[in-house]
Amino acid sequence: MAELPLTGSKQMGNEAPHEPPELLWAPRAWIGGKWQDAVLLRVGADGNWAEIQIGADAAPQAVVLGGPALPGLVNAHSHCFQRAFAAMAERRSLEEDDFWTWRERMYQVALRIDPQQQRAIAAQLFLEMVRGGYTQVCEFHYLHNDTDGRDYTEDRVRMARGIVEAAHEVGIGLTLLPALYERAGFSQPSLREDQRRFRADADAVVAMRDALRASPPYDAQVAAKPSPLNVGLAVHSLRTATPAGLNRLLAQGDDAPIHIHVAEQFQEVDDCLSATGLRPIEWLCRHTALDRRWQLVHATHSSPGEIEAIARSGAGVVLCPSTEANLADGVTDLTGWLKQGVPLSVGSDSQVTRSAMEELRLLEYAQRLTKRVRCVAAAPQQQQPSTAERLWSRALEGGAQAAGFARWGLQVGARADLLVVDTNTPALLGVPASYTLDALVFSSPIRPFRDTLVAGRWVTRNHHCSAADRIGARFVDAMQQIWQGKVD
């Protein structure tokens, strides 16, 4: 299928700078788990897909996309402030270095960041995410308080507002998840001094959720229209939540997503066993009414029985391969999750990688290294021989659940998001069209996506974002402030 515009149609990039398109035509598009040719897509006034036609001619008023169209993925787990720490913990001065020593260094960065710096960091991160294949991000937010640990009394959600404003400035969709954080560990009744910014009991978390829902904040000077905002709840982890606090939080929950870190580290599993007699996932299954609202982040150290229990509950799992590798967490039982049909999504977590393709590639490669077989995630017996296509499809579906969407992707009624593949990226040169996703995931590096649409509005076009220079300059300034005098 030729990718040149038909006579009378508008070529991608010729429309007015901020003109939302109403009609798009893609030479190829990923719909229903496979590539379809000649796809016409109409954006409704509500920012959702109003009509999708396969095998259609390009209408005269349609914007013709400059490459194949993919639905955007959900980044289902992010701590945006940790973008300021990416690459800053890759040196070792002690005899051993692990998750817990990394955490000590990360805390010191968390104690320095103010609300304006948080916004600057988040905006740069979100722009990188959009270019890397994400059109929605689930922000697991626990940097709540001022640097001295006190509430921002004039605005309890001041730190969260910076994240929302950054999402609006970039144009990415946001699911914001204020997190319960009450204690330092199972046997510690209070927080450590260096955890003071994280403190939030159940009532505080619910109050933050309600405040954010009541008046979604955005700066009209940088966002002509607010980007989509969902607000749910998070529990940092079982070790940081008291049973009473967890129960109180869940009693005030609703249909929105609930995310929790669980079973990321062996020590966490051992500590939970010592304190409760149960493994973390086992404890959750016995003491909470898990359902499809729940997302278990990492779940790295899980037993077959726990995986079966999660499958029965309808809850999902968020895997963060780049962070789990960087922090030496371990390797998840991907085949177990896939076999049981548990909803899966991916997240960037500590931000050492901001590319959806890299997360999917690392997820598969970790399995190959440990199992010493290839194409682990493929399922030829289910007519899914492509590893990349199966992982993409599962991440697409699981990410929608993680972010709180009933519909997602290129389907009528779903939000009008899409990614336009840059066919000039070296990874795709000479590759048959049917192998596009295989090449995007497993032939690296690739160029960022050519164009990105979120809720029917362009965020990037022909690799350009009008706010990129402003966002980058603020990020550099914030990094200089945070790291001044702190680098050897």
Catalytic residues, by residue number, are: 298, 349
Residue 472 CA: distances (Å) to CA of 78, 122, 143: 19, 11, 22
Determine the residue type at 137.
Answer: V
Lookup: tokens for 368 = 């190959």
SS3 assignment, position 484:
coil
SS3 assignment, position 32:
coil
Q: How far apart are CA 271 and CA 278, in angstroms?
A: 10
SS3 assignment, position 219:
coil
Q: How far apart are CA 168 and CA 15, in angstroms?
A: 22
Q: Which of 159, 168, 161, 157 is nearest to 126 (CA)?
A: 168
SS3 assignment, position 170:
helix
Residue 199 neighbours by CB distance under 10 Å? 18
Q: How far apart are CA 13 and CA 63, in angstroms?
A: 8
Q: How far apart are CA 112 and CA 250, in angstroms?
A: 31
Q: How far apart are CA 71 and CA 416, in angstroms?
A: 9
